[in-house]
Structure 1
Amino acid sequence: MRFDLITLFPDFFTSPLGSGLLGKAIAQGIAEVHCTNPRDFTTDKHHRVDDEPYGGGVGMLLKPDPIFAAVESLPVLPRREIILMSPQGQPLNHDLLIELSTTAAQLVLICGHYEGVDERVRHHLVTREISLGDFVLTCGEIPALTIINGVTRLLPGTVGKTESLKAESFANGLLDYPQYTRPASFRGWDVPEVLRSGNHGAIAQWRFEQQCQRTRDRRPDLWETWQQRTPTP
């Protein structure tokens, strides 16, 4: 998987991309990440990438020409997506990460700043917009890094035990079950007896019940969706 970041701040990614499982995946060639700075494609002596919006208003907008030029300088792989990180976009969730990890070979991630980007970038360049949620950040680098991390961990070879991907939150539409490790008793708080019983059937049933209860209590929206998707026995 190739990731191309269109960013005014390439140094933002240096530490995260070199750490943990993400750093290992990049070192092993499972994923590759390239940064392209739109400022390198400006033509004025001040290298301006933003300007005032037509019609007035507060803040500045990223100009279209440096962004188009930056994207057009990239190699084009089959199954490429050009994504604008935007609070107006499609909410990011587990299903979308799976879709991107299995259907795309190249993700171009445009990191917005200031009051956003010229509308012509939306209409004539990007293939989709993605949002982390109903809030606004100071930059698009954080959402872009989230996509890189979320997609890369789903690529074959990144996670040692692929079974862990199938048992985590959202993998089956439910939140994850509670998990414990040693010691069996800590400050008077004991690990549930069923988990120490060795009865794998009982453990599986307990975990499923905990998933249902946790999802119902904490994310009623997910619980409702799961019920709609799950056939009634």
Structure 2
Amino acid sequence: MLAQSFSQTGSIRENNQDHLLIDPELRLAIIADGQGAAGKVLAEQAATAMHQRLREIAPVTSGDENLYRLSEAYELARQTVTRPGDPCCNIAAAWISRGTVAVFATGTCRLLISTPDNNAWREQREFAMPASDGEAILLVSEGAAAALSSLQLQPALNGMLAQTDTENFTAFANQTTAVYDGDDCSAILLRLDQADLTAGTPHEIELFEHYNRSYSCKLWVPLSIVGCVGLAALASASKLKPILNRIKS
């Protein structure tokens, strides 16, 4: 998984209230956009709490549970770092595990996905899909999201669709902060590769699936052969039994 990121402090406050977290091993990316006077601290605490929760449950989470677990981790983090009614933060998060991509975004954060068979960005808020080699995921905070509609930004945004292009992300970062200079601007670009398709899968399951895909002799073939041999043996035994009885008599 290739990950690129940037975060630029906006002009409306001294501190950058966006917190970026990328864990290449867990294949998790989070942008937390803090709110209120303590937004910077809340964003960092929320992202850290989500990260810790997902690290704990990743070994026992199947791919079809990824989206639920991702949103659950956010809710638990929000409850941990704030009291009811207090401002916390908006997030954009992506988690790739056991062949499934789960994405989750709240509030003014946005999240865009592009797959190899559909060369265009599509916004998602809460979505899960099979991971694919070359898939791109773009996470943005409120400031960067405000700049996405600018025509000036479209060439760099579309340029990031190219699977082998890394320079367009730098152009995207520069133009985003030039177009919008209010709130903090942050973005993470993830590009999946072949290794991400089996990430998080227990080794024994991964080996079984590999050999089952790689060889023409599927698991049901030897089982069928064993079954046929067994039936043939039973049939032969039933035919021999009368002959043996006659010999004995």
Return the TM-score normalized by structure 1: 0.22
Higher relative contact order (CA 8 A, sep 6+): 2
Of Structure 1 and Structure 2, which has the larger fraction of its residues in helix? Answer: 2
Return the TM-score normalized by structure 2: 0.21
Of Structure 1 and Structure 2, which has the larger fraction of its residues in strand? Answer: 2
Q: Return the index of the structure with the highest Cα Rg.
A: 2
